[in-house]
Chain A
């Protein structure tokens, strides 16, 4: 069974590793997932999990993923906001699959997923 003893060992291991994580800089991509009542009810949790998972699998260190409150567009939830290259992109009606695609196409390769953007299909 996992114990806090194990966490102590993990911490020692993490401390001894030379920190090669790049420090968040100007090129950082910030991703926010709406986690108010409407967002949660519409499936924001699996969307957030998919993004965290995809970012970790690809070892994306210059991406910060967090949650935010009500974005005010209930019927378009789950909503994901991506702040990249000084611009804000609002992705609507997200699913875990679409979320993974946004990470790969937009965040990694720089190709905005225009089909999922607000205004394109709403």
Chain B
């Protein structure tokens, strides 16, 4: 992956596959502390402790017969190679929370990339799932909650309708991306 936003998309796709009805994505950037946090939390099927461990380090833990996925290891690598940390918390039947931190100024930190575009794709292409996206930086917070949006739109207008999509594109840019000023 060349952009952290693509890792976020990939990790959120795991949540969708886990049958989550709500996926929460949080992005916090503290420029004074030089620290950025990305978290993806879902209420999907979750994993056992062993499973979570083997998914995170597929080559050091006992191999099972399942094919090795690269999504979680790539996300972990993106954080640990940029002076950050990685954590996965999961409980069977409850859900999963994946958190990565980064040193913003680290030479090997990948750029965030098109975070707004990824959020737009997630919320417009997944009518079965709700998303709560929060961006925090410099004492400001921006929120996109698809439950709120759906309530306004009613049942007959999907979030992917061209007019709604155009609205959401601007909404995301003005209410989420503007919080960190696009400088990540």
Contact = CB atoms under 8 A, between A and B. Distances in A.
A97 interface: no
Interface stretch (A23-31, A33-41, A105-113): A33-41
B44 to A, nearest CB: 14
Nearest to B2: A41
Contacts of B118: 45
A7 B149 contact: yes
Contacts of A2: 167, 170-171, 174-175
Contacts of A37: 10, 69-71, 74
B157 interface: yes
A10 B9 contact: no
A2 B167 CA distance: 8
Contacts of B17: 69
* B contact residues, range: 20 to 34
B69 A4 contact: no
A53 B153 CA distance: 22
Contacts of A1: 174-175
A45 B157 contact: no
Contacts of B10: 36-37, 40
A interface, over-half SS: helix
B13 A35 contact: yes
Contact of B152 (A8, A38, A48): A8
A45 B7 CA distance: 12
B117 A40 contact: no
A115 interface: no
B161 interface: yes
B1 interface: yes
A48 B122 CA distance: 12
B50 interface: no
Given A45-B9, A56-B162, A7 B167 contact: yes
B171 A14 contact: no
Interface in B79-135: 114, 117-118, 121, 125
Contacts of A45: 6, 9, 114, 117-118, 121
B1 A69 contact: no
Contacts of A36: 10, 13
B51 interface: no
Interface in B159-177: 161-165, 167, 170-171, 174-175
Interface string B136-165: 000000000000110011101100011111
22 contacts: A2-B167, A2-B170, A2-B171, A2-B175, A6-B167, A7-B164, A7-B167, A8-B152, A10-B164, A11-B153, A14-B157, A14-B163, A14-B164, A15-B156, A15-B157, A37-B74, A38-B70, A40-B1, A40-B13, A45-B6, A48-B121, A69-B17
